[in-house]
Amino acid sequence: MSKEKITRVKYFTPDKEKYIYEENWKKYKKYLQSNIIKNKDVKDTTYKRYGALFRHFLIWLGENYGELDLYSDEFMENAVDIMEGYMLFCQEVLQNHKKIINMKVSAVSSFYIWSMKRGFVKYHPFDGKLDRMKKANEEQILNHYFLSDDQINQIRNDLYKTENNKWSIQDQLLFEVSLFSANRLGALERLTISSLDLDNMVFEGIREKEGYRVEVSFDDTCRDMIETWLSMRKDDYDHLECDALFIHKYKDEWKPWTRSMITDRMHKFGEIIGIEDFHPHCMRKTAINKIYEDTGDLNLASQWANHKSSATTQAAYLKPVSKSELRDKLKLLKFKQQEIEKEVKMQENKLDVAYIDSYVILLQICHLSRLDLTFFKN
């Protein structure tokens, strides 16, 4: 059965920015600045994400309630109804999943927790009064795919074809590094030449999820490609000062690939094998699952994934196994066990034969020497 295609609604377009009440955005910018001072490492990750979600809320609020101040008595008294209306809008109009809706509510809630600490409001207007979306973690937000060896080879055949090749060496390198390293999109986006240790085949100190610094490892194939790419940058690109590994030219200036550009290329990788909603996390899941399948070592797969717990790896990053696949694995294990038992039996028989041969030779020696064999028989 084919998976249901996920429908996405693009609602918050630039023309809707006009609905944002500027005073509300000023209040939220104070909150952002205050938190960025304490957590600078997540300025471009967590807070950037929360800021975008809050702007969405302000657009909806302005579109439906006009210039309603976030600290006004009207908002504070009607906050539960307002937030429930926003949640309903996210669910029915935007078709957001439960986890995303809860995240959007958290973005607003965090703002009011800070506002209470600063004395801008006396109480949190909807804390403990608003029911969050239940079973959010059980809901599938995106379709996830684990690439088979055949699919990987099919993508490679298209990426490396010699005639009419629309792919660049950057596309090839992105595929290989993401497949080997299993790193998140955020890390791939931040790969730089200055962080590259070519001898040890690793990018060092790359900021990833929640500001953590990680290594992005690669294999011999990637190293050869990186060397080729560095040579091309030196010989074929004039005045190239951009430190990013993946680059594009915009208005006569070299700039890093953006997150959306990497996502778009990953999407095109999926199109090669007929998967229209393929996304970067599928590459990460494929790589982690492949390590586990090749080694059977869950802890190794978890460490490679930079997970704090192997339970996360097991629950979300290993390909579900069907009963028929389990049956085939059991059959294979039984076959291997039988082969081992046969080999052991053969070795035992060889030992028995060797023992008999040795005894016969000993008898012959004793006969020639006319020795008493009673001692040897015992």
**Regarding beta strands 247-250 and 213-217, do their DSSP bridges make them parallel or antiparallel, or are they unpaired?**
unpaired
For residues 166 and 160, give the distance between their C-alpha atoms in angstroms, rounded to a whole number.
10
| pLDDT given at position 4 | 46
Identify the CATH class of 149-316. Answer: mainly alpha
Q: Give backbone dihedrals phi and psi of 254, rounded to 5 degrees, phi first.
A: -80, 130
Q: What is the CA radius of gyration of the chain?
A: 31
DSSP characters over 276-320: TT--HHHHHHHHHHHHHHHH--HHHHHHHTT-S-HHHHHHHSS--
- The pLDDT profile of the chain, 378 residues, written as one tens digit per residue, is 344 444 455 678 888 889 999 999 999 999 988 887 766 654 555 667 778 889 999 999 998 889 999 999 999 998 988 998 898 888 878 888 888 888 899 999 999 999 999 999 999 999 888 776 555 455 455 678 999 999 999 999 999 998 878 899 999 999 999 999 999 988 999 999 999 999 999 999 998 765 678 999 999 999 999 999 999 988 777 667 889 999 998 888 889 998 889 999 999 999 999 998 898 999 999 999 999 999 999 999 999 999 888 888 888 889 887 788 778 878 888 888 888 888 877 777 777 666 676 766 766 666 665 555 455 455
| pLDDT given at position 238 | 65
Residues 6+ apart with CB under 8 A from 232: 169
| pLDDT given at position 2 | 44
| pLDDT given at position 42 | 47
Predicted TM-score (pTM) of the model is 0.59
| pLDDT given at position 363 | 66
Report the first-to-last Cα separation within the chain, whole angstroms.
72
For residues 97 and 99, give the distance between their C-alpha atoms in angstroms, rounded to a whole number.
6
| pLDDT given at position 64 | 86
Residue-range domain boundaries for the chain? 14-138, 149-316, 323-377
- Each residue of 89-132: pLDDT tens digit? 888 788 888 888 888 999 999 999 999 999 999 999 998 887 76
- Each residue of 213-235: pLDDT tens digit? 899 999 999 999 999 999 998 87
* Other beta carbons within 10 Å of 17: 13
